[in-house]
Amino acid sequence: MIAIAGGGPNGLMLGCELALAGVRPVVLERLPERSQEPKANGMVGQVVRLLHRRGLLPRLGSETPFRTPGFMFGMLPLDLSALDDNPLTILPVPQRRLEQVLEERALELGVEIRRGHEVVAFTSDESGVDIEVRGPQGEYRLSADFLVGADGGHSTVRKLAGIDFPGVSTEKGVVRVAHVTLPELVDGQLDVPGFGRIPPGVHTRTEHGVFFHIELEQGKPMVVTVEWDPADDTAMTIDELRQSVHRVLGADVPIGEPSGDGPHLLRRTSGGNTRIAEKYRDGRVFLIGDAAHVHSAMGGPGLNLGLQDAANLAWKLAAHVNGWAPDGLLDTYEAERRPAAERVVLHTQAQSALTGPGPEVTALRAFFTELMAKVDVAAHIAETMAGSDIRYPTGTNHSLAGRFVPDAVPIEQLRDARPVLVDFARNPALKDIAAEWNDRVDVVEVESPYAHADVLLVRSDGYVVWAGDGVLSGLREELATWFGVPQMLTTAS
């Protein structure tokens, strides 16, 4: 059994992925019910394609991944319309809706979710983890093969494991955000007397701060300001937001109290943290999501990073529980996911620097605007923000190896999170080789003019670990590297 501390999106995603792999985990969530507090407003990057492969997009209000023709980098417009292969997919959906969908799916798959249960202590050794849990009826002990901390930036699991969380903190920057009522838009834009018209979804920077407005949920306009002077610690109010808008724009915006049913967002945050855990694993204890890394929300990378942590780790843990994991498989989790976190830290810190005050930053923004107008630069930034610039180490140098499965592979593949050998060339020898692993790897024949390879070996998390053209040399070795000793040898032993 695998215990997951934390029932947010990352913990629930991990639970779903484990259940698809034949393992029934227990999710221990401190809160007695799902939080209704507005948090993230959507997903950006590769994870949208992963959720599509799992058949979850329709539940989230979308049939297919949307490749956005434009985005923002450092609060500067990023035009992606000229890209031949735009990697940046987005899905605007409130985090509470995502959590609801993932919880419903987890329960369908038989995941046990214990709300109001909190990990308070644990001991671990080579045989497993003994966990002390505080629940509504008191404390009890739980024995697990593995414990995964998906319990956020203040992770109890990380602290109990004694894993350091190095990084930097800053007191700079005050973000105010609230659902409000706004005047009716004029030609789709907010008309601010004394300043001008401001389109929705566009960050407007002045020497005094940043202003932003958007309506992600019908009837619930949202206004955001960013300033650099410190704020007091009194309760946030709509009037405080009005004053902040005036300081940023030098003009007044008639902001009213929000209308309709809540919950309504009204929040002020000061400063920020950028940290990556010293290690993602301590024996049988693992960290995913914010428990392993925290960073600026600039560009919305958080769910992309954390949910892919979950998908990466789940099948590897399941392989151990199911008895076929090759040596060193669990070590590949940190080896693959730490570089992804480091890339997010890199680009979010760069974006934060581009939004700061001062004429030198204004000059830097002007220069970046020139650079971002170049198609190759826009493509590079888009890949970085999507997470598609990360290429996992593999045993082949094929251009598709180490990358997320291409669209040429039908969407229904990976629905059940089974590794798959995709045969574009109908090679008769492929099924003979794959038969030795048919208890854990499926084979599918596909016809596509956009294959760009004869054969792909795709892990359950959607990443290609081997690609071949014409010959199958090296395939057997890659199957053993990722999916262990063949079935017939296991049976014989």
pLDDT of 378 > 80? The answer is yes
pLDDT of 209 > 70? The answer is yes
Does some domain include residue 32?
Answer: yes
The last residue of a domain, from among 252, 272, 292: 272
Among 8-22, 26-40, 213-227, 241-255, where is mean pLDDT lowest? 26-40
Q: How many CB atoms lie within 10 A of CB 202?
A: 16
Q: Which residues pair with 135 in a beta bridge?
A: 138
Among 12-26, 75-89, 476-490, where is mean pLDDT lowest? 476-490
Residues 70 and 49 in one domain: yes
d(CA 75, CA 384): 16
- Beta-carbon contacts of residue 243 (< 8 Å; ≥ 6 apart): none
Antiparallel, parallel or unpaired: β 220-227 and 146-149: unpaired
pLDDT at 450: 83
Q: What would the pLDDT profile of 65-113 be if each residue is shown by its tens digit?
A: 999 999 999 989 999 999 999 999 999 998 989 999 999 999 999 999 9
pLDDT at 464: 95
pLDDT at 488: 60
pLDDT at 252: 95
Q: How many CB atoms lie within 10 A of CB 119?
A: 24
The identity of residue 39, as a single letter, is K
Q: What is the mean pLDDT of the chain?
A: 93
Residues 206 and 158 in one domain: no
- Beta-carbon contacts of residue 231 (< 8 Å; ≥ 6 apart): 174, 268, 270
d(CA 149, CA 197): 46
Name the pTM for this structure.
Answer: 0.92
pLDDT of 448 > 90? The answer is no
Does some domain include residue 454?
Answer: yes
Q: Which residues pair with 142 in a beta bridge?
A: 131
Number of domains in the chain: 3
Does some domain include residue 110?
Answer: yes
Does some domain include residue 395?
Answer: no
Residues 145 and 18 in one domain: yes
pLDDT of 279 > 90? The answer is yes
Q: Which residues pair with 285 in a beta bridge?
A: 147, 282
Q: How many CB atoms lie within 10 A of CB 18?
A: 29
- For residue 457, what are the domain limits? 403-483
The last residue of a domain, from among 215, 244, 272: 272
DSSP 405: P
pLDDT at 289: 97
pLDDT of 413 > 60? The answer is yes
Q: Max alpha carbon distance in the chain (Å)?
A: 81
Does some domain include residue 75?
Answer: yes
- Give 3-state DSSP helix, strand, coil % of the chain, rounded to 5: 30, 30, 40
Residues 198 and 155 in one domain: no
Residues 352 and 259 in one domain: no
pLDDT at 255: 95
Residues 281 and 268 in one domain: no
Q: Which residues pair with 198 in a beta bridge?
A: 190
Q: Residue 175's domain is classified under what CATH number?
A: 3.30.70.2450
d(CA 118, CA 120): 6
pLDDT of 208 > 80? The answer is yes
The DSSP line for 192-260 is ETTTEEE-TT--EEETTEEEEEEEEETTEEEEEEEESS---SSPP-HHHHHHHHHHHHSS----B---S
Model confidence at 472, in pLDDT bands (50, 70, 90)? confident
Number of C-alpha atoms within 13 angstroms, CB side, residue 119? 31
Does some domain include residue 36?
Answer: yes
pLDDT at 493: 47
CA–CA distance from 308 to each of 64, 388, 404 (Å)?
18, 12, 11
d(CA 118, CA 111): 17
Q: Is 116 left (phi over 0), alpha (psi -120 to 50) or beta?
A: left
- Beta-carbon contacts of residue 7 (< 8 Å; ≥ 6 apart): 27, 28, 29, 31, 34, 103, 113, 115, 150
Q: What would the pLDDT profile of 166-198 be if each residue is shown by its tens digit?
A: 999 887 889 999 999 999 999 999 999 999 999
The last residue of a domain, from among 257, 272, 287: 272
pLDDT of 491 > 60? The answer is no
Residues 210 and 255 in one domain: yes
Question: What percentage of the chain carries pLDDT values higher than 70?
Answer: 99
Residues 292 and 414 in one domain: no
For the segment 453-458, the average pLDDT, to the nearest whole number, is 93
Residues 11 and 110 in one domain: yes
pLDDT at 38: 66
Range list of H helices, 8-124:
9-20, 46-53, 95-108
Number of C-alpha atoms within 13 angstroms, CB side, residue 417? 26
- Token pair recorded at residue 447: 């016809």
pLDDT at 82: 94
- Beta-carbon contacts of residue 354 (< 8 Å; ≥ 6 apart): 73, 74, 75, 76, 361, 364, 365, 368
Handedness of CA 449, 450, 456, 462 (dihedral sign): negative
pLDDT at 180: 96
Can you give the length of the chain in residues? 493
Does some domain include residue 393?
Answer: no
For the segment 435-457, the average pLDDT, to the nearest whole number, is 91
Residues 82 and 217 in one domain: no
Residues 136 and 283 in one domain: yes
For the segment 240-260, the average pLDDT, to the nearest whole number, is 94
- From the list 301, 448, 277, 479, the residue with the least C-alpha distance to 388 is 301
d(CA 104, CA 110): 10
Locate tokens 């570089």: which residue?
A: 339
Does some domain include residue 224?
Answer: yes
Q: Residue 330's domain is classified under what CATH number?
A: 3.50.50.60
For the segment 446-471, the average pLDDT, to the nearest whole number, is 90
Q: Is 209 left (phi over 0), alpha (psi -120 to 50) or beta?
A: left
Question: What percentage of the chain carries pLDDT values higher than 90?
Answer: 77
Asked if residues 245 and 223 have their Cβ atoms less than 8 Å apart, the reply is yes
Residues 286 and 315 in one domain: yes
- From the list 113, 110, 131, 461, the residue with the least C-alpha distance to 285 is 131
pLDDT at 489: 54
